[in-house]
Amino acid sequence: MAWTGNCVGGGRFLISDVSTSARLLPPIFPFKTICRCAGCCRRAPPVEMFDQTDIIVGLEIGTAKVCAVVAELADDGNLSVVGIGQAPTRGAVRKGEVIHTQRAEDAVREALARAEESANVEIGSVYLGVTGAHIKAFNNRGVHPIATVDREIDTDDIQKVVMQAQPQLPAGEEVLHTIRQHFRVDGQDGVESPVGRFAQRLEVDVHVVCGQNTRLQNPVRVVKGLGIEVDDIAFTGRAGALAAVTPHLSERGVLLIDLGAGTTEYAAYLNGSLRHSGVLAVGGEHVTNDIAVGLKLSQQRAEKLKLEFGSAVPNPRLGARTVNFSSDVGLDDKTVSVAHLHQIMHARLDEIFSLIRNDLNTQNLLSRLQSGVVLAGGGSRVPQLELLAHSIFELDVLGRGSLNESGPQNILEQPEYTAAVGLVKFGAKQVAQQRNQRSGLLGWLAGK
């Protein structure tokens, strides 16, 4: 993350070489060495120094590719995507987890270099997405008795009840997110803001996402091995929803499915909060593998066939249509039945969606999601996937997630970048909180 802006004298300055700890509260008077305005800042009150712009980078190390998104967070809170970078992982990642550190570093280096060139910035830190079969999510409840009768609930009570909602995890696991759903005050459910109310008992329901510590650290180690700091990590299933799910959709109830190459993440929102999430260690690569096995093709040929002629739903009107193409070196040309290809793809994609449907039914959620389903991730490009999703979930399908940010349309319309854009939004929320802290301290200093 970097800070840029205009000083009161009209000059430009850049703060980019700030330590991780300093990002929480950057130096108050750094301008003597880094300001480029011929010293005019030195005579200005600190609180009037600059209009701040933060550079925020979201990085997803996916199974098939690494995606990086660079955005600017303006002083007024406007978030604009200004650059992207992408690079293939070349076998460094399996089912969302790093299995070859050096190859992963090479892929991340390449993606970040392209993002830097695209955005014309130097990247020093990122918000990193994590996923994998070890990720678990569940709902939990915290209870906090108000010690004094007829006392108003204050912010300390909120902090205490949220702490009570923290789960006791097995050794080696850690909490990624504790996301508030709603409060309960003296048995009254659905309270959004209990501060200022009189009560004897305060409860909170939260959604907890956790994972194995060592497996969470593997992608962090890859990034830090390149000299890049990790501002924070986030579950990519949650990040994708931050990018593609609007407040209106989440209020009425919506399911986001991010279909990647090696994993499929999903998140269900209702009444404006995250109610359930999960990850399946299966994705688009498994569809490709099924095609390769079923049609006796190499992985490369199977992937090409999937992209050019694939469909999630068999079309009976195709009849006996076939596709002829040159096979691998040393083998005869192949003739493939398109109907057979579609049947293979349908079987695997049907399985993925059915697993998600069954999980949501156990939570009594599916029938309550009035907005429908949003599809994201590179796997969502498969033709007729919306039709398959509609038949499995019996909900409206809103198509591929539209990313709710400003920026070049050729970036925002690519579903592969949904999670990375969500990581940028995740980071923007943290930066906004840090700005408020800095603003309060600067104002206090100016008044001394």
What's the confidence (pLDDT) of residue 432?
85
Number of H helices, E strands in the chain: 13, 22
More confident residue, 52 or 370: 370
What tens digit of pLDDT does each residue of 127-178 get? Answer: 999 999 999 999 999 999 987 767 889 889 999 999 999 999 999 999 999 9
What's the confidence (pLDDT) of residue 11?
42
What mean pLDDT value characterizes the chain?
85
Domain ranges of the chain: 2-132+419-446
How many angstroms separate the CA atoms of 403 and 422, rounded? 9
The yes-or-no verdict on residue 406 having pLDDT over 60 is no
What's the confidence (pLDDT) of residue 35?
40
Q: Residue 29 — very low, low, confident or very high, per pLDDT cuts 50/70/90? A: very low
What tens digit of pLDDT does each residue of 185-202 get? Answer: 988 888 888 998 888 899
Query: Above pLDDT 70, what percent of the chain?
Result: 80
Decide: 344 and 294 in contact? Cβ < 8 Å. yes
What pTM did the predictor assign?
Answer: 0.83
Architecture of domain 2-132+419-446: 2-Layer Sandwich (3.30)
How many angstroms separate the CA atoms of 422 and 418, rounded? 6
Provide the token pair at 269: 């929102």
The yes-or-no verdict on residue 350 having pLDDT over 70 is yes
Q: Could you tell me which residues are beta bridge partners of residue 81? A: 71
How many angstroms separate the CA atoms of 232 and 241, rounded? 17
- Reduced to 3 states (helix: H, G, I; strand: E, B; else coil), residue 344 is helix
The yes-or-no verdict on residue 15 having pLDDT over 50 is no
Amino acid letter, residue 108:
V
Residue with tokens 């001394």: 448
What tens digit of pLDDT does each residue of 40-61 get? Answer: 444 344 433 445 678 999 999 9
What's the confidence (pLDDT) of residue 319?
66
Decide: 228 and 123 in contact? Cβ < 8 Å. yes
Can you list the positions of beta strands (E) in 166-228? Answer: 173-185, 188-191, 198-199, 201-212
How many angstroms separate the CA atoms of 174 and 215, rounded? 11
How many angstroms separate the CA atoms of 272 and 180, rounded? 10
What tens digit of pLDDT does each residue of 103-114 get? Answer: 999 999 999 999
How many angstroms separate the CA atoms of 102 and 90, rounded? 11
Decide: 285 and 252 in contact? Cβ < 8 Å. no
